Structure 1
């Protein structure tokens, strides 16, 4: 009949040839409804396996909570106004709610029943189902990710306090990086056996200014940092990421892979330097056995790019904040970070295949 020219396609599930009728509407991809249902079940199974093998959704939120709680504590020590203290508290409370939803979803991904979730949360199973349905949790975490992406932009204020941009997560990270930069320079200075006056004579800087740099009271510009690092016998590149973070310089979210790897390695070596370059055994003990001495040596030596769990464990063991290093790690792994974290496991540095391979 006119308008019903018949052609053949291959079923996406069973790979059998089937008749495809031309005409208006969406073309069929499967030869039968049964094949379509089987394909859907197969996709659901793959997604479920991916969710079970991924890092927990709650882990990154817990890392961000660490930074927010520290900001609240600092504000309390500084005797900040009540409005500011309550603003910090609201941020912590909101993030705790996000964490609870993510933790429940992690448990559900691990096949925990609603009855078990309810017992852990001290709620009824009906209330737990109503409070944390999968679709609502995913939408909530999606909104959270979008909000935090906005807050990470230069100059973005906190949602609860528009007048407190200086206390944004980005600014808090800058303060921490400034302290680490001073610690790294101070360690290099002590190792050099140079007096402050000798440093002043060789750099044309005043002794008092050098002392303020080494104590963390002043964060100098890069030429000064670089000159001091070289004079002390260090590698300026190891301090570059700390310097950029201390000055609130936001690097592009995507780099060429070699550049991204170099920045991550520099950040980790900078933290290692700021911690006084502890031996691998000391770091292993501080990581509570998460890292082996061999892995620590390979990571700091630039032989291996670690998975996120190893990266976070190393940063924490060195006295740093995982949330500060996370963007650098993501810059290396962004092709794998579509919806959730990639599967864990360290990746050894190898040259990527060329386009002609």
Structure 2
């Protein structure tokens, strides 16, 4: 026999999933494949915004389903989700998974509510990762609420979901973000600084490398690399910075040996923030020029870095072939960092919530 209280429990768990479709419709509309002028009253030709509204309406009816009308209202909700998928797309598969979770709508006890809540969390994460400054707080709070709802109803044995909630904090988007091709950003003593390509400030990238030890007699070289962002217009008036990859290459002093490993040595993971470039240990550091490359500068390669760290989150090759047939080896590395910068007078700048995406090239060519 159908137990109405059980159905109400399931519907309570689902209510957050329904609200997500309303809140997150702005993102799905970006993927709309249909003409926005299509008549939204035709259920077979819904545009994305109208499809999201249909889901909201069907969801509200589904919440109040009883034993007698459960199959009918479930089927209506399922159809609305199918229309949403057709009108808006489904880049991460969350809508299809929600459809699948409903089953054939014949048995409310066959509905996997934890799967639906996980789908809601996945959908919220996709939108959070595509958030802009204008909608960051909304998408962040939606993501937090989805995680908290999933934890409350389905548990969190390994604590991974709660860790994400904790990292989201109060959803205050004070951290500088960039969607440019190359960038270095961070909070510099609390001030948001963004150095990025493709802006009116005309930031340019620098492909850099340099040796630490060159011992051609023993054919052993230790080499570091750096990616630079500096402005050319106006020159030496805007901040510039380097992200340095220290002592990542240690091998033969020739093009062949370096290129054989170049694209594979910048692996994803955490790296120490070096505070002494003379010890020849692998790590990373940052150099910062508040008024351009010819002005005063700060470096994290000195002073206390006990709470500093650099993280490589993505590494990809960007090699290209010259007209003469020679290949130039380059790497694009993305990551995060926090560190303390010092100038020659002992003044310091604490950099928190730093992000970077830089490009650099091989030393031997």
Q: TM-score range by the shorter chain?
A: under 0.3
Q: Which has the higher contact order (CA 8 A, sep 6+)?
A: 1
TM-score for both structures, normalised by structure 2: 0.27
More strand by share: 2
TM-score for both structures, normalised by structure 1: 0.28
